[in-house]
């Protein structure tokens, strides 16, 4: 009989494997893909954002629903940074508080981590795809055919439903649901929104929108976003994606540092013989991309009153979120009521779950990775202690 099994070699699974091994267990990690942590490596290509340097209360408040917060608090920003440094990764904190390895990429950290796991005796079996429950164990399709494992304890860390091409395809949902595990439907998170642009917006595809404040669902933030061929995306959009996905109106303030009255006075000072674009540029310093958005969504723009109102509260009409396959992360998964405080499945004693399989979401900016590491750590420790 296998002693301790981890299914999934992403950050949550590798952290669970490390804790199991430190707890004296003989650990096997089964990974369906040809190599571990492929989504982790892809996420780190533009700079591996490990966590965010802020106090634990502020950090954990970003996680929804709140039941996930205690696991994150137990392995918060300082602990994540200490863990990465212990793997030989020098870190720096950016101006926004985001924490990155000096190397920026994920691959050096992953190599060091895999080396440490190897030293702890962790065995990683790639191209082992879990295919569900057998009569007396867990079934896998491997290059050598079907294999059945009967572990004493198991940690599931198979990811959610975003980026299925890298392994997070939620194929496990019917297998767990069929065994009495409650699962909230998956929904896209940290995603863009579809917009049917008019032809005049074509020259702006790929351009960032700077200097605006975005608002939705009672939240406001000053952040950049990007106009793409299919809609809007980028950090500012992702940060508000949850309330917008749930039906809140997304609104832009194109000139957050000026009042509506001041905008009106400045527009009145520029003669109307000039085109609207020239008046907006001369009076207000609006760049071409913000002018284009105002003309795309703000019409009719008849008179200074209407223009100033639209500049301060420009509603963004969209056709819904981009598909979950294109989302950075997913919301939904195994619900709180199906788990013990140790992240053990109530319906399946001896089987624990971690990472994006669980029903939680958080914004980008270091929160997602921290959540996966924290829940993997907790599940691994609890599984190691189970007899």
Task: Give the per-residue pLDDT at 1.
Answer: 65
Name the domain count of the chain.
Answer: 2
User: ∠ at Cα 363 (362, 367), nearest 5°?
Assistant: 70
Same domain, 148 and 16: yes
Does 322 fall in a domain? no
The answer on 262 and 201 residing in a single domain is: yes
The beta-carbon contacts of 223-226 under 8 Å, at least 24 apart in sequence, are none
Q: Phi and psi at residue 325, in whole multiples of 5°?
A: -65, -20
Contact at 8 Å (CB) between 149 and 347? no
- Residue holding tokens 């096997």? 28
Q: What counts of helices (H) and strands (E) characterise the chain?
A: 14, 21
Range of the domain at 66: 4-188+328-385
Final residue of a domain: which of 315, 347, 375?
A: 315
Q: What CATH number should be reported for the domain holding residue 351?
A: 3.50.50.60
Give the mean pLDDT per block of 10 residues along the chain (387 residues): 93 98 98 94 85 96 96 98 97 93 94 98 98 94 96 97 89 97 97 97 96 96 96 96 97 97 93 88 94 94 91 97 95 98 98 98 94 98 95
Task: Examine the fold and report which residue of 285, 315, 345 is the final residue of a domain before the chain moves on.
Answer: 315
Based on the domain organization, do 150 and 286 belong to the same domain? no
**Which of 315, 337, 360 is the endpoint of a domain?**
315
Looking at the structure, tell me whether residues 221 and 336 fall in a common domain: no
State whether 91 and 175 are in the same domain.
yes
| CB proximity list for 241: less than 8 A, separation 6 or greater | 188, 189, 190, 191, 193, 321, 363
* Rounded-to-integer distance, Cα 15 and Cα 135, Å: 29
pLDDT value, residue 258: 95
Q: Alpha-carbon distance 242 to 48, whole Å? A: 23
- Which residues are bridge partners to 194 per DSSP? 231
**Does 59 lie in the same domain as 205?**
no
CA 381, CA 373: separation in Å to the nearest integer? 12
129 and 148, same domain (yes or no)? yes
How many Cβ atoms are within 10 Å of 297's Cβ, its own excluded?
15
Contact call for residues 30 and 5 (beta carbons, < 8 A): yes
| Residue 140: how many other CB atoms lie within 10 Å | 22
Residue 121 lies in a domain: yes
């Amino acid at each position: 009989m296998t002693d301790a099994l981890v299914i999934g070699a992403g950050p949550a699974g590798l952290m669970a494997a490390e804790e199991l091994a430190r707890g004296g267990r003989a650990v096997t990690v089964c990974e369906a893909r040809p190599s571990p942590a492929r989504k982790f490596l892809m996420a780190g290509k533009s700079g591996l954002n490990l966590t965010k340097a802020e106090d634990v209360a502020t950090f954990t408040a970003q996680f929804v629903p709140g039941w996930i917060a205690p696991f994150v608090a137990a392995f918060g920003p300082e602990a994540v940074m200490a863990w990465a440094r212990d793997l030989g990764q020098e870190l720096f904190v950016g101006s926004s508080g985001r924490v990155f390895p000096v190397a920026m990429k994920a691959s050096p950290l992953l190599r060091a981590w895999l080396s440490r796991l190897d030293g702890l005796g962790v065995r990683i079996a790639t191209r082992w795809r879990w295919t569900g429950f057998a009569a007396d164990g867990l079934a896998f399709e491997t290059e050598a055919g079907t294999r059945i494992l009967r572990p004493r304890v198991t940690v599931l860390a198979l990811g959610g439903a975003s980026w299925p091409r890298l392994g997070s395809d939620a194929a496990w949902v019917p297998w767990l649901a069929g065994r009495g595990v409650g699962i909230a439907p998956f929904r896209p998170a940290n995603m863009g929104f579809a917009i049917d642009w008019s032809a005049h917006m074509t020259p702006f595809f790929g351009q960032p929108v700077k200097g605006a404040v975005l608002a939705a669902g009672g939240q406001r933030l000053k952040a950049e976003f990007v106009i793409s061929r299919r809609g809007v995306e980028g950090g500012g959009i992702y940060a508000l994606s949850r309330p917008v996905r749930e039906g809140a109106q997304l609104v832009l303030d194109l000139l957050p540092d000026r009042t509506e009255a001041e905008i009106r006075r400045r527009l009145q000072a520029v003669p109307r013989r000039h085109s609207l674009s020239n008046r907006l540029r001369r009076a207000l310093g609006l760049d071409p991309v913000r002018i284009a958005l105002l003309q795309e969504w703000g019409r009719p723009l008849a008179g200074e009153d209407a223009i100033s109102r639209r500049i301060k509260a420009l509603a963004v009409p969209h056709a819904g979120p981009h598909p979950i396959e294109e989302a950075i992360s997913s919301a939904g998964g195994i619900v709180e009521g199906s788990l013990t405080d140790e992240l053990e499945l109530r319906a399946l004693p001896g089987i624990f779950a971690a990472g994006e399989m669980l029903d939680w979401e958080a914004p980008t900016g270091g929160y997602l990775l921290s959540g996966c590491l924290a829940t993997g750590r907790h599940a691994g420790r609890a599984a190691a202690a189970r007899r």
